[in-house]
């Protein structure tokens, strides 16, 4: 774990291993501190924002879209912990969704984005999902440091669930009025209407997490939706893949289309919630940063895999859109490698506060106004999975290459320019020997940062 050092040691460490620590004021930003809203869905495949008209028209159409946005760990609890801290999973220590290697019990909530912002005078609210395991028998309901408004799932569902709301547990049943995305939407609207500015809202609906259930008004509206396939979908020849992939059976087309349609249909209510949030902001919208993303991606039968913990693109790529007219006056697209660990330092800089602890991420603020700003050339992917190995699995990804080391000892290498769908494991291709050796060295460095 990262430890606190004297100031001189912090500066040296920051230079040597690439941690970001200090933030500078945002150039050109005048007036009151901005309100900040982060809308984070659960398990959303990156391109499904194409099915969300409000996100497309009001966020993508009025903000910056990052086309190469990734999470560093493709699993809910580690990823959300990374969002709150700006840290890789091996530094915040939440490696899985459940105790003893992960879950809410493993998370140190003493220094998070919420505590930084509250300390700077922000009203802070979480509405939706927190960390996996919150409210279970080993860890009864509590409100972590830094939060002034708290409406959080105790067991995440679309229906028949409890919310722990500012110290009171409320149950919601199975009627149309209980649909969780709508219930959370109404609480978000009420918070925006009543909150003292500046405020920070982390809005985290359950959708489109499995087992997806659409809102009653949307049931059946996605039944004939065409679902895009790629060459990686239900990959026929996986002989070059690791053993865990080779063990996966070929699937029928319904294994892709039915779950995908259901997931997309749950996003209709999320899109309506985005519209309600933007409408409620009214004149506050011009001084509000709105960020839309997801905690991890989802593999839609890429390489026969239909879930999220993996090192392939479908698992780690996520949508990321930022709307803030003071710094982003027109719609833009950016293809730099940006990460979920970048959001905490980004929000901190926009709010004019310094993180109270070291972070691995970099503030995205320079990219908001200067797409050609100097930026990272690679990043670390890490995850644990019983299916792959009881040990950790790692990869380094650059704008062109991905080099993978699994806990089983198996390795993979992909040239993402010539092989964007990761069909051909080129780890034994001698023409890549030099770059593979370079990436192996780089991976060892990233694992220590």
Please write the tens of the pLDDT for every residue from 305-358: 999 999 999 999 999 999 999 999 999 999 999 999 999 999 999 999 998 888
Q: Give the per-residue pLDDT at 276.
A: 98
Q: Give the per-residue pLDDT at 386.
A: 55
Residue 418, pLDDT > 90, answer yes
Calculate mean pLDDT across residues 205-227: 96
* Burial of 173 (C-beta count, 10 Å sphere; 0-12/13-18/19+): exposed
Q: Give the per-residue pLDDT at 46.
A: 97
Q: Which helix (H) or strand (E) holds 336?
A: none
Lowest-confidence pick of 87-91, 351-355, 382-386? 382-386
Nearest-CA neighbor of 202 among 149, 275, 139? 149
Calculate mean pLDDT across residues 271-296: 98
The pLDDT tens digits of the residues spanning 11-45 come to 333 333 344 444 455 655 557 999 999 999 999 99
- The 3-state secondary structure of 419-432 reads CCCCCCCCCCCHHH
Q: Which helix (H) or strand (E) holds 79?
A: helix 76-85
Rounded to an integer, what distance in angstroms lies between the CA atom of residue 362 and that of residue 349? 10
Give Cβ neighbours of residue 147 (< 8 Å, ≥ 6 apart).
114, 118, 124, 125, 126
Rounded to an integer, what distance in angstroms lies between the CA atom of residue 344 and that of residue 78? 14
* Burial of 321 (C-beta count, 10 Å sphere; 0-12/13-18/19+): buried
**In Å, how far are 78, 113, 346, 438 from 107, measured between CA atoms?**
9, 13, 21, 34
Helix (H) and strand (E) counts in the chain: 12, 16
Calculate mean pLDDT across residues 427-448: 98
In the numeric block, which tokens belong to residue 10? 């912090």
Assess if residue 415 is contained within a domain: no
Arithmetic mean of pLDDT over the chain: 92
The pLDDT tens digits of the residues spanning 142-190 come to 999 999 999 999 989 999 999 999 999 999 999 999 999 999 999 999 9
The pLDDT tens digits of the residues spanning 233-277 come to 999 999 999 999 999 999 888 888 999 999 999 999 999 999 999
The pLDDT tens digits of the residues spanning 179-215 come to 999 999 999 999 999 999 999 999 999 999 999 999 9
Neighbour-count burial for 76-89, b at 16+ CB within 10 Å, e otherwise: bbbbbbbbbbbbbb
User: Do 327 and 365 contact (CB within 8 A), yes or no?
Assistant: yes
Calculate mean pLDDT across residues 107-118: 97
Assess if residue 425 is contained within a domain: no
Beta-strand ranges (E) seen in 199-263 are: 199-204
User: Do 249 and 202 contact (CB within 8 A), yes or no?
Assistant: no
Assess if residue 50 is contained within a domain: yes
Q: Give the per-residue pLDDT at 356.
A: 80
Assess if residue 167 is contained within a domain: yes
Range of the domain at 66: 34-376
* More reliable by pLDDT, 369 or 224: 224
Rounded to an integer, what distance in angstroms lies between the CA atom of residue 222 and that of residue 362? 38
Q: Give the per-residue pLDDT at 136.
A: 84
CA angle centred on 200, ends 358 and 269, rounded to 5°: 120
Assess if residue 1 is contained within a domain: no
CATH number of the domain residue 203 falls in:
3.40.720.10
Q: What percent of the chain has pLDDT over 70?
A: 92
Rounded to an integer, what distance in angstroms lies between the CA atom of residue 372 and that of residue 332? 12
Assess if residue 15 is contained within a domain: no
Assess if residue 387 is contained within a domain: no
Its pTM stands at: 0.94
Name the domain count of the chain. Answer: 1
Assess if residue 399 is contained within a domain: no
């Amino acid at each position: 774990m990262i430890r606190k050092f004297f100031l001189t040691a912090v500066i040296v460490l920051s230079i040597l291993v690439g941690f970001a620590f200090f933030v500078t004021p945002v150039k050109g930003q005048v007036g009151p501190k901005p309100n900040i809203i982060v809308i984070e869905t659960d398990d959303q495949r990156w391109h499904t924002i194409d099915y969300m008209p409000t996100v497309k028209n009001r966020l993508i159409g009025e903000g910056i879209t990052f086309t190469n946005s990734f999470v560093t760990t493709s699993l809910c609890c580690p990823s959300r912990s990374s969002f709150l801290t700006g840290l890789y999973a091996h530094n915040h220590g939440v490696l899985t969704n459940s105790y003893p290697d992960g879950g809410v019990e493993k998370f140190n909530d003493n220094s998070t984005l919420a505590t930084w912002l509250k300390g700077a005078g922000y009203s802070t609210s979480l509405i939706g999902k927190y960390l996996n395991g919150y409210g279970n028998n080993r860890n009864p309901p509590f409100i972590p440091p830094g939060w002034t408004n708290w409406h959080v799932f105790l067991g995440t569902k679309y229906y028949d669930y409890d919310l722990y709301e500012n110290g009171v547990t409320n149950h919601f049943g199975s009627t149309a009025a209980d649909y969780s995305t709508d219930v959370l939407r109404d609480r978000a609207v009420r918070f925006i209407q009543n909150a003292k500015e500046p405020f920070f809202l982390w809005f985290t609906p359950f959708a489109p997490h499995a087992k997806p259930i659409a809102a009653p008004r949307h049931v059946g509206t996605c039944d004939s939706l065409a679902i895009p396939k790629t060459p990686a979908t239900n990959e026929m020849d996986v002989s070059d893949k690791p053993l865990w992939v080779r063990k996966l059976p070929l699937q029928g087309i319904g294994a892709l289309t039915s779950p995908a349609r259901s997931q997309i249909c749950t996003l209709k209510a999320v899109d309506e919630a985005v519209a309600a949030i933007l409408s409620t902001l009214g004149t506050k919208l011009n001084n509000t940063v709105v960020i839309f993303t997801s905690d991890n991606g989802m593999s839609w039968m890429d390489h026969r895999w239909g879930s999220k913990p993996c090192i392939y693109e479908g698992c780690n790529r996520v949508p990321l859109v930022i709307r803030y007219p003071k710094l982003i006056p027109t719609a833009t697209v950016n293809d730099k490698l940006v990460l979920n660990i970048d959001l905490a330092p980004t929000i901190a800089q926009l709010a004019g506060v310094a993180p109270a602890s070291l972070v691995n991420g970099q503030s995205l603020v320079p990219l908001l106004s200067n797409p050609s700003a100097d930026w990272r050339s690679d990043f670390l992917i890490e995850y644990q999975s019983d299916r792959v190995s009881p040990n950790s699995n790692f990869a380094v990804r650059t704008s062109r290459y991905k080099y993978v080391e699994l806990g089983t000892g198996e390795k993979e290498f992909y040239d993402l320019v010539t092989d964007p769908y990761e069909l051909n494991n080129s780890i034994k291709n001698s023409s890549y020997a030099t770059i593979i050796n370079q990436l192996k060295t780089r991976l060892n460095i990233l694992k220590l940062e």
